[in-house]
Structure 1
């Protein structure tokens, strides 16, 4: 019997919840045994100085593939570590884009901080239908669907609706996130924002990013995310959070034009020259003007 769309969405939602509940145990069990940091190989599209696939990445990736396979629905999965055709040989009903374990470099160096799994699921017209994220260390999960985003702690059954910040200018003491732990990003990023930091000294920087930043933008913890040379595999898993929260994501194209970010799953190994996600369009344009981006 062919399942109706609503039945399929229920199956997907249930599978997503199963992953969110299972992946922390997978990660913490590996960490408790001093396992998971063994290197498998490079991440496609990244220099080895920037990122490497390790065992914990593969374990989380395999867990997601297994759970999606068990839905019986046809999927294409675009992971940071590969592309997988699930339950089909032609075209899928759904597309999943996942960063199965965000925080590999920290894990590999024994730092128990900023470990996340983040994914978005789209229909075959590339329309977001669900986003999920789990902050493994803080035991907080996030869900984006039906024009809202919610969060809950693992120990609580109640969900809290969350909303992005409403800031529109630097006069509101803005928090900007950017992944700056790798000097190759920091050296390109600082000249871009030097004017902001000089002119608006109350601006604060959260020096981490990637797919995990989108739930925090939805929650209003940070106000903007500005990156140079951002891998699309870090952006795409968080797109459902931007979509259902209603905040914009822009990128600078090869013609140095500011355009809305375009989701093309086959391009997940490419990079955005400059990427800007922001709680409001007004703040985004102020950042662009202050940085002289275009």
Structure 2
């Protein structure tokens, strides 16, 4: 059976360098599993994308954690030969098995052992340094952190201790957060709540449309869920095209036809859209130059 992601870079997928140790590979793999495991995002519109990323992480780890496969990839830079050597290997079964092994319960148990550990402290240090002391960004990168007052207080104490001990720099962003901690945290929470509320509202509206279209009372099959995900993606695509056209001055001719959905746009149509956007963009630039000359 051919490899599932022949163009994938295992190192890039696990966010590590080629000189990474076995321990570093394992650590990064574990962290990414917690972020992308489908069960963790079961109520999210991004569950399908999460499932794909989760499988890519599993595949990358299966290569880099196996000495022979890792050596073969390092020597050739290709995953095709690995697939040829394991033509009878069932990757679908492998992914299903891994997903079953990493359950919602195991994630909860991992959270208990992770929080307060040296691993968590090291992750906080790395994330804090990488973000130049942006405290709020820790809630997007450190595993198991949740946007709650309890977690804010707990992580704040850890960072404060690290700064006082000189482990991390007392950055400008950290000082700014300290001086207006209550206001900044409250603003951050409200922003996240609005984002979640907006996405939930959009999902509910799309759900109603699908139920009405199919004359159903509930989404009770995988096909129904797939329709909801597809509709959400199409909605996002239309919003993206609208924003691009507004930005570069593109104007659509009025017609009774609705814009085609994502799956209806072939390569030729996409090229035409891109050319039209580029043309308007260049036209805008020329007008700006002419104005500056005057």
- One fold, TM greater than 0.5? no
TM-score interval for Structure 1 and Structure 2 normalised by the shorter chain = under 0.3
Which structure shows the higher helix fraction? 2
Which structure shows the higher strand fraction? 1
Structure number with greater Rg is: 2
What's the TM-score, normalizing by structure 2? Answer: 0.23
